[in-house]
Homo-oligomer: A and B are copies of this chain.
Amino acid sequence: MTDVTMIEAAAARLSGHARVTPLLNALLLDAAAGRRIFVKAESLQLTGSFKFRGGWSAISAMDPATRARGVMAYSSGNHAQGVALAAQAHGIPAVILMPSDAPQVKIANTRAYGAEVILYDRATEDRDTLGARLTADRGLTLIKPFDDPQVIAGQGTIGLELAEQAAALGITRAPVLTCCGGGGLSAGIALALQARAPGLTVRPVEPAGFDDMARSLASGQAERNAQTTGSICDAILTPQPGALTLPVLQRLAGPGLTATDDQALRAMALAFTHLRLVLEPGGAIALAAAIHHADLPDTVICTASGGNVDAAIFRMALDRHAP
């Protein structure tokens, strides 16, 4: 399983290929929230989300002969784009299995990063069967979105950067609110911070009604969401915590937090106005909790994990919440 040595090795492989993203703040955001908030802007990462780190980490860690045959991912979103660009930069094939009703722009972007996109019909075809046949036929390696030690190590490189950036600001004790779907980002950051900045504690944030991780941390066992649709935070609606990520977060993180879709939209509008960042709803959920939760300390760090948002959703944030 992932440890800080693996995370540091991932950081060495990512160096010069992924961006070191800035930790941003704004006095007028602090005034709106009533506390100091520092935002790790992974929306500025290549492909517009932290997922590029995990994709690059996994692909760069493969043995060259296996890697040369190519990789596969299931995703209609940020993981697809992260894996596609990381594969293209390694000069290897990437096959991305996407539902045929995925947004055209996401299909087009994934293709633009050089991936072969294979569409399947969610109603009539089984994704896992299709994927298993493809990996067998072509010798592809599946890159899972979160339950993979090297993917977690890649996301953990954010934690190494955060430890340095927080220390430079003199911050030694603070909660680190992380946008949480399967828990890869949260677990990676928690492992890095345990080793490099033990006063910084991960608190995963999920959309209200999709808080499988928060409930799992509370109950001590893996809890499921009743549904995986019905929130605009599409990037982080997973059915249940990862088998690898939950034990890490049980040991090192919590309790979980939630924020509503409308709070995420308000966080997007405040990030637009005060940080001049474009965030997607799932990428703004930690900032939403940092702004709206009453019971947090004076200084909070949060991840802004992605910025791939349709104009229609962004307009909704501005319409409701921008002055």
Contact = CB atoms under 8 A, between A and B. Distances in A.
Interface of A: 19, 22, 24, 26-28, 31, 43-44, 46, 48, 85, 105, 109, 112-113, 269, 272, 275-279, 307-308, 311, 314-315, 318-319, 322-323
The 10 A-B pairs of least Cβ separation, nearest first, read A276-B307, A311-B322, A276-B278, A311-B318, A43-B276, A48-B276, A105-B323, A272-B278, A28-B112, A315-B318
A163 B112 CA distance: 30
A299 B139 CA distance: 38
Contacts of A22: 19, 22, 44
Listed residue (A27, A31, A105, A109) with the most chain B CB atoms within 10 angstroms of its CB: A27
A308 B308 CA distance: 21
Nearest to A271: B278
Contact of A44 (B24, B28, B31): B24
A277 B278 CA distance: 6
B112 A27 contact: yes
Contacts of A43: 276
Contacts of A26: 46
Given A43-B276, A276-B308, 6 more contacts: A27-B113, A28-B109, A269-B311, A272-B311, A276-B307, A315-B319
A304 to B, nearest CB: 9
B307 A323 contact: no
A277 B24 CA distance: 13
Contacts of A48: 276
A19 B315 CA distance: 29
Nearest to A321: B311
A48 B272 CA distance: 11
Nearest to A42: B276
A194 B98 CA distance: 50
A164 to B, nearest CB: 15
